[in-house]
């Protein structure tokens, strides 16, 4: 039976599913929450989704209006997967309680027939010595395993610790055992031998970000999402960006070891939290895929990244061999395989390769601009025929760093916001519908756009102290705008956005916009020719396209071309855990991407400076925004 | 340039040499000591050797008599290697001082063009980032390495510790480095990166015997022998034979770990002794091949051998993957490859596979019986078309254990002995021409044969107390025969052979002979059809064929068919260190050998009992001996 990749937007979650499964089954398995009060009985009509790539099978049924059918809307419980799909889940179909990024979902099954996962528990019936004398125990194990895995591995061998366990486990279990098999770049390794049907097996997908580490636990039996956990990367103690980390590694004798230990500690903290919550044993996690930018990849492996900072900016490695967990220091099965997503260059890393995989950009016929907004802003332009990538230092403002009430996109973060100057009223939504604790990236984009539209801030980002609103005030000698009054939500202080934060946001958005502009020009393209803009990043569960264009973060294209695709790094890591096809594809993609070095293009800096206005020095580039600003200009 | 295998007998040393090298150059490289006072100038005529398989090139010169030329004798300094050769070095051509088994030879070079050795130091010129920007450090290393190793490896990857060292070593050395590359069953692994041309590299060949561990250090640059060391296997503290070791592992909770630690300790003691003597660093040893019987192989790897002792006698493994030294616990470069010779069955191990490789038995057109006399006596019958093998419990008497003045074949051991009853005189030679300390296996065979021939012992092994010699006496109520008077050589006690020792020797020889007889009969063959008998073992530097037949250890065949081939286990291990061709051949040989289980043949026990006489109950089987015994019968 064939299987296909399904990518869900804006979550960015992806998985492989068997032909014939419904999109709803796939969504449940992927941990994507789609509203369906009838439980998939084709009764409620809530599970409306749009497929933006690929065409699902199954009739529309009678729950959709003619307009909806014409718009390409299908019901997730009726539409079945017959080819690779990118499925967009509209906000109104997203299940509320599951829009918590770090939440928990039920594993409701519906696994696809995976190709070789990174690690697996395979039951083996060995031939007993009574039936076949001329063989050793390892041959009794490897023989049937080779048959079971078919062409899956170029070779299959057994690790010494597993070999040591084998004689006793095999005899105690009447020659039935479970073999833990890892995929080490096409070579199979039996890294554990355990009593048959003893335990669950899980995989880890790890997004090793400069600022934030995100870990997903995947149930390998169902391929379903179990739990996610995010935490700050402990390396922040040694500097906020990758450059300051490299300097720390260089200037302190134990710097490299400290940085390696710090990122391990962050990952392992998440792992411990997840496994404790779910009663999972460390040894039940039989594979981990880690994706990170090139510097994070170096530091996780304890490899000196010094050359990345020096002309001509070369990395020590781009593609690491699949390692053992104990070598990397991850607290999972010590001999489990750890796969690292391949990097393209010193500043375009495995997180981008994973993102290109997860968005299916490399297979798309449409000219696409993919932007991953992390502490660095990386982007990839291209389609199924060519891919060009570059990186710019955006800074972590959109991850909430450097902005007073900025925060990472987790429970309590304001992720959506609007301001009505008529009534001086702010409306907002928080992640998890919890009490507001701060503003995450998507909320900050909305906030800045709203203030600009209302005329509270001018195009230089200055707050107009004469603006007729009690929300505009000066605190600690700095002008700011209050979005949430503390007393209204039962907190001691007010949630506001001040001029310092605004300047950081402007620098970040300008770095990204200038990068996109430079890349486009180098390719002889104009923004209008881009057929879709996919924005990834861990700054929320959605991004308002209009706000993003309003502040000049994204080029002024028709808004329906802009789509937020979530944390594609961790989505790609999840795919890598589940199938070798995905791992191989990542390697092909990394090899296909042509690296474009922004820093050597003289015009980049000029463009960056021109972008330090809202939306831009040159309003002609933003005609749709210019129209909105005119009344207040 | 093509290369060929040369095997030297009786040493059993083997190596691959380039076409055109002289046999003397090959012998020097192999550490085989051939007399040559002119130093290979074709002047002294001392280096006479016989090729028993293959034909060397080069004319006979004028230093040999017509008779010698007709007998197939050539001068080692003139004869060149143009095909695979088995070279016999007659006693009179062996260089005296080097007949010390544990001696030291100069490495005089003349390496062959080896195929992929187990470990190697390969110089690499990397392309600098200034010349080529789009590559990571590991790619700069692996690219040229792949070119240099050609088809040598199915894939080539770099270990994490080597990757960590690479950025600094490469830049410090101006992009010239040495890569330590190991062969892991066809996969290349860079396990070290060091400054260019920094150090020597060595390999280890280890014979893991039940009683004795022998370690050879090989210079990988010249492929020459550097040093050997032997020591008792510390496992002896847990029992003398493999069965008692298995029982110890079963009956004590820490038994398996103790046994593993014991054999590691013995090997590492030898390694330390050798490296200290030669100023070699542990990290300079970049590969080790270990050969041992099946139980020793299990215990070295810490794998429970319990099933070997139970019906149906199956091993946990026969062919281990190539491991890391740190996994096995060998004190060489911690990530260096450790190759283990493949075993055939529970009682025919890697030492026998190595022996079959070293003797080229599997390529011989002649019907051959190969007997390896260790603590177990294993034998292989066959030729290039078929191979049959079996094992019998010979016990360690011929290694000197269980015989009061018996000793291992090392300096001071009487290895050759004769007794003249006329003058009541004993003549003997010791290893290293040192003061006699005891009698090793070959000397014990001579001793028992001499006593039988002289009528001192009868066919039941009893000493005739009425024999007219002052050497016959009773000590501690046991009859014995004194070979060396202590006062004559300056030692406190006399060196003698008593009836207990004789009975142990008789049991050992009978086990071996009965095994050979049973194997022959099962094949429908008679002893007279065997074209050559090769005897291996660590019991001396030679074995007197006449004595061996006299006591009924070997079948009564024409004496020129019997040849002593020394420690073929360690010779095979040396070949395995030097070339993958040898390693692959071992695996083919192990697969080709059909195991014959003596214990399930009802006749074996009867034959063993019939053999508990000298030479045998049935004198008709030993016509040549019967003639000699008649006068005293």
Query: What confidence tens digit (pLDDT) does each residue in A19-60 have?
Result: 888 898 888 777 677 776 566 777 777 788 888 778 888 877
Mutant choice from B314, B322, B591, B593 vs A, greatest count of A C-beta within 10 A: B314
pLDDT for residue B261 is more than 90? yes
**Average pLDDT for chain B:** 89
Report the residue of chain A nearest B318, measured CA to CA: A136
Scanning the structure block, which residue is given the tokens 């040598």?
B152
Q: Which of B160, B168, B301 sits opposite A304 (nearest CB)?
A: B168
Instruction: Give B-chain residues touching A134 at CB under 8 angstroms.
Output: 345, 595
For B167, nearest residue in chain A (alpha carbons): A316
Q: Look at A110 and A545; give whichever has higher pLDDT.
A: A545
DSSP label at residue B190: E
pLDDT exceeds cutoff 60 at B632: no
- Helix A580-592 to helix A568-578 angle (10° resolution) is 130
Query: Residue A498, Cα to own-chain centre: how many angstroms?
Result: 29
Residue B327 is nearest to which of A154, A160, A303, comparing CB atoms?
Answer: A160
Section A3-13 average pLDDT:
75
Shortest Cα distance from B163 to chain A (angstroms)?
Answer: 7
Contact B129 A315 (CB under 8 A): no
**Residue labelled with tokens 């020459």:** B224
What is the tens place of the pLDDT at every residue in B502-528?
999 999 999 999 999 999 999 999 999
Task: For A218, list phi and psi in degrees, rounded to 5.
Answer: -115, 135
Rounded to an integer, the average pLDDT of A287-304 is 97
Question: How high is the pLDDT of residue B103?
Answer: 29
- The minimal CB distance from A317 to the residues B130, B163, B343 is found for B163
Predicted confidence (pLDDT) at residue B464 exceeds the cutoff of 90: yes
Beta-carbon separation of B595 and A134 below 8 A: yes
Helix (H) or strand (E) holding A450: helix A441-454
CB-based contacts of B459, cutoff 8 Å, min separation 6: B452, B613, B614, B615, B629
B160 with A302: Cβ contact below 8 A: yes
Longest Cα separation, chain A: 93
Of the pLDDT bands very low, low, confident and very high (cuts 50, 70, 90), residue B147 is very high
Mutate to test the interface with B, among A153, A156, A167 (most CBs of B within 10 A): A167
**Residues paired with residue B132 on neighbouring β-strands, in sequence order:** none
**What residue of B is the nearest CA neighbor of A303?**
B164
Closest listed residue to residue B496, CA positions, set B448, B434, B431: B448
Q: What does the pLDDT average to over B93-114?
A: 34
CA angle B102, B107, B108 (to 5 degrees): 135
The C-alpha of B123 sits at a distance from chain A's nearest C-alpha, in angstroms, of 19
Count of all residues that appear for chain B in the document: 633
d(CA B77, CA B26): 10
Please give the Cα distance from A49 to A73 (Å, whole number): 6
Query: Residue B399 — very low, low, confident or very high, per pLDDT cuts 50/70/90?
Result: confident
In the predicted structure, residue B96 carries a pLDDT above the cut 70: no
Lowest mean pLDDT across A581-585, B36-40, B259-263: B36-40
Residues of A with CB under 8 A from a CB of B: 129-130, 133-139, 154-155, 157-158, 160, 163-164, 166-168, 171, 185, 187, 301-304, 306-307, 312, 314-321, 323, 327, 343, 345, 595
Give B198-232 pLDDT, tens digit per residue: 778 999 999 999 988 999 999 998 888 888 888 88
Nearest CA in chain B to A301: B160
In this predicted model, which residue has the larger pLDDT, B398 or B370?
B370
Q: Which of A497-511, B2-16, B80-94, B212-226 has the highest mean pLDDT?
A: A497-511
CB-CB under 8 Å, B137 with A314: yes
Which pLDDT score, from 0 to 100, does residue A64 have?
A: 83
On average, the pLDDT of chain A sits at 89
Q: Which residues of B touch A594 (CB under 8 A)?
A: none
Dist. CA B312–CA B155, nearest whole Å:
39
Q: From the list A155, A167, A314, which residue is nearest B304 (CB)? A: A167
How large is the average pLDDT for residues B439-450?
Answer: 95
Segment B582-593, tens digit of pLDDT: 999 999 999 999
Check A301 against B164: CB less than 8 A apart: yes
What average pLDDT does this structure show over B292-313? 95
User: DSSP string spanning B407-476?
Assistant: --SSTTEEEEEEEETTTTEEEEEEGGGPPP-EE-HHHHHHHHHHHHHHTSB-TTS-B-TTSS-TTEEEET
The shortest CB-CB distance from B317 to any of A136, A168, A318 is to A136
| Chain A residues closer than 8 Å to B389 by CB | none
pLDDT at A599: 80
Which residues touch A251 (CB under 8 Å, ≥6 apart)? none
3-state DSSP assignment of residue B258: helix
Residue A166, pLDDT score: 96
Average pLDDT on A490-498 reads 93
Measured between beta carbons, the chain B residues lying within 8 angstroms of A172 are none
A311-359: pLDDT as tens digits: 888 999 999 999 999 999 999 999 999 999 999 999 999 999 999 999 9
What pairs with residue A525 in β-bridges? none
Using a CB-CB cut-off of 8 Å, the residues of chain B touching A321 are: 157-158
* Cα–Cα distance, B68 to B285 (Å, whole number): 43
How high is the pLDDT of residue B12? 64
Lowest mean pLDDT among A138-142, A172-176, A579-583: A579-583
Give the whole-angstrom CA distance, residue B35 versus residue B17.
Answer: 20
Which residues in B have their CB inside 8 Å of a CB on A? 129-130, 133-139, 154-155, 157-158, 160, 163-164, 166-168, 171, 185, 187, 301-304, 306-307, 312, 314-321, 323, 327, 343, 345, 595
Complex ipTM more than 0.90, yes or no: no
Segment B566-583, tens digit of pLDDT: 889 999 999 999 999 899
Check CB contact under 8 Å for B136 and A171.
no
Residues 6+ apart with CB under 8 A from B600: none
Contact A569, A209 (CB under 8 A): yes
Polymer length of chain A: 633
CB spacing of A317 vs B187 below 8 angstroms: no
Cβ–Cβ contacts within 10 Å for residue B266, how many? 23
- Is B416 within 8 Å of B544 (Cβ atoms)? yes
The structure tokens 């018996």 sit at B406
Chain A residues closer than 8 Å to B312 by CB = 129-130, 133
What's the rounded Cα separation, in Å, for the pair A325 and A563?
A: 36
Span A367-378, mean pLDDT? 91
Higher pLDDT: B124 or B600? It is B124
**Partner residue facing B303 (CB), from A129, A163, A171:** A163
List the single residue in A164, A171, A318 with the smallest CB-CB distance to B136. A318
Chain A residues lying within 8 Å of B137, measured CB to CB: 307, 314-317
Look up residue A603 and give its two tokens: 């015009």
Sign of the four-CA dihedral B565, B570, B576, B577: negative
Residue-level pLDDT at B633: 42
pLDDT at B91: 61
Q: Name every chain B residue with its beta carbon within 8 A of the beta carbon of A353.
A: none
For the cut 70, the answer to whether the pLDDT of residue B10 exceeds it is no
Shortest Cα–Cα distance, B316 to chain A (Å): 4
Flag whether pLDDT at B157 surpasses 90: yes
CB–CB of A129 and B163 under 8 A? no
pLDDT for residue A38: 66
pLDDT tops 80 at residue A614: yes
With CB atoms and an 8 Å threshold, state whether A303 touches B168.
no
Concatenated DSSP letters of B185-217: TTEEEEEEEEETT----EEEEEEE-SSEEEEEE
- pLDDT higher for B599 or A367? A367
Chain A positions touching B316 (Cβ under 8 A) are 136-138, 163, 166-167
Neighbours of A126 (CB within 10 A): 26
Phi/psi of residue B254, nearest 5 degrees: -100, 10
Question: pLDDT tier at A633 (50, 70, 90 boundaries)?
Answer: very low
Task: Please tell me whether residue B631 adopts helix, strand or coil conformation.
Answer: helix
The confidence score (pLDDT) of residue B108 equals 24
CB atoms within 10 A of CB B67: 8
Using CA atoms, how far residue A14 sits from A33, A358, A569, B395, in Å, is 13, 6, 11, 65
**Contact (CB<8Å) B134/A160:** no
Instruction: Give the integer Cα–Cα distance in Å for B394 and B507.
Output: 7
pTM of the entire predicted model? 0.81
Distances (CA, A) of B408 to B416, B419, B508, B534, B540: 14, 22, 16, 20, 8
Give the count of Cβ contacts less than 8 A between chain A and B.
108
């Amino acid at each position: 039976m064939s299987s296909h990749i399904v990518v869900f937007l804006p979550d960015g979650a992806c998985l492989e599913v068997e032909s014939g499964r419904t999109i709803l089954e796939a969504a449940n398995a992927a941990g994507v929450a789609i509203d369906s009060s009838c439980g998939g009985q084709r009764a409620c009509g809530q599970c409306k989704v749009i497929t933006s790539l690929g065409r699902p099978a199954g009739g529309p049924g009678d729950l959709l209006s003619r307009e909806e059918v014409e718009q390409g809307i299908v019901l997730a419980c009726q539409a079945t997967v017959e080819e690779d799909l990118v499925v967009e889940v509209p906000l109104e179909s997203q299940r509320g309680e599951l829009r918590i990024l770090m939440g928990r979902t039920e594993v409701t099954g519906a696994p696809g027939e995976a190709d070789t996962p990174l690690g697996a528990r395979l039951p083996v019936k060995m031939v007993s010595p009574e039936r076949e004398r001329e063989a050793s125990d390892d041959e009794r194990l490897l023989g049937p395993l080779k048959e079971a895995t078919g062409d899956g591995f170029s070779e299959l061998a057994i690790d010494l610790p597993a070999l040591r366990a084998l004689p006793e486990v095999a005899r105690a279990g009447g020659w039935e055992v479970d073999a833990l098999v890892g995929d080490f770049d096409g070579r199979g390794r039996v890294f554990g031998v355990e009593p048959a049907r003893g335990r669950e097996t899980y995989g880890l997908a790890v997004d090793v970000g400069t600022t934030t580490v995100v870990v997903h636990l995947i149930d390998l039996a169902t391929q379903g999402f179990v739990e996610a956990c995010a935490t700050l990367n402990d390396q922040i103690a040694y500097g906020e960006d990758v450059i300051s980390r490299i300097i720390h590694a260089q200037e302190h004798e134990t710097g490299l070891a400290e940085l390696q230990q710090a990122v391990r500690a962050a990952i392992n903290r998440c792992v411990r939290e997840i496994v404790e919550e779910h009663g999972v044993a460390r040894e039940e996690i039989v594979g981990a895929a880690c994706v990170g930018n090139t510097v994070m990849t170096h530091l996780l492996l304890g490899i000196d990244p010094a050359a990345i900072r020096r002309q001509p900016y070369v990395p020590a490695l781009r593609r690491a061999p699949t390692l053992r967990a104990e070598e990397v220091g991850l607290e999972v099965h010590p001999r489990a395989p750890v796969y690292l997503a391949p990097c393209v260059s010193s500043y375009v890393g495995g997180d981008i390769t994973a993102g290109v995989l997860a968005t299916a950009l490399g297979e798309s016929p449409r000219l696409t601009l993919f932007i991953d907004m992390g502490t660095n802003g990386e982007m990839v332009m291209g389609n199924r025929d060519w891919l060009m990538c570059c990186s710019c230092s955006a800074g972590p403002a959109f991850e909430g760093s450097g902005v007073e009430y900025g925060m990472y996109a987790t429970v309590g973060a304001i992720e959506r916001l609007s301001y009505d100057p008529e009534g001086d009223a702010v409306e907002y939504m928080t992640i998890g519908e919890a009490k507001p604790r701060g503003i995450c990236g998507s909320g900050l984009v909305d906030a800045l756009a709203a203030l600009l539209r209302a005329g509270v801030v001018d195009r230089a980002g200055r707050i107009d102290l004469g603006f007729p609103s009690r929300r505009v005030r000066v605190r600690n000698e700095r002008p700011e705008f209050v979005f949430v009054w503390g007393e209204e939500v039962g907190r001691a202080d007010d949630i506001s956005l001040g001029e310092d934060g605004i300047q950081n946001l402007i620098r970040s958005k300008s770095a990204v916009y200038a990068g996109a502009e430079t890349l486009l020009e180098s390719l002889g393209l104009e923004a209008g020719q881009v057929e879709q803009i996919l924005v990834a990043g861990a700054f929320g569960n959605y991004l308002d396209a209009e706000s993003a264009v309003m502040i000049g973060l994204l080029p002024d294209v028709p808004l329906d071309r802009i789509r937020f695709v979530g944390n594609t790094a961790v989505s790609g890591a999840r795919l890598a855990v589940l199938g070798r096809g995905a791992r191989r594809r990542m390697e092909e993609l990394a090899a296909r991407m042509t690296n474009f070095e922004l820093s050597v293009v003289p015009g980049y800096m000029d463009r960056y400076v021109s972008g330090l206005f809202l939306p831009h020095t040159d309003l002609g580039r933003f005609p749709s925004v210019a129209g909105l600003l005119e009344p207040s200009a």
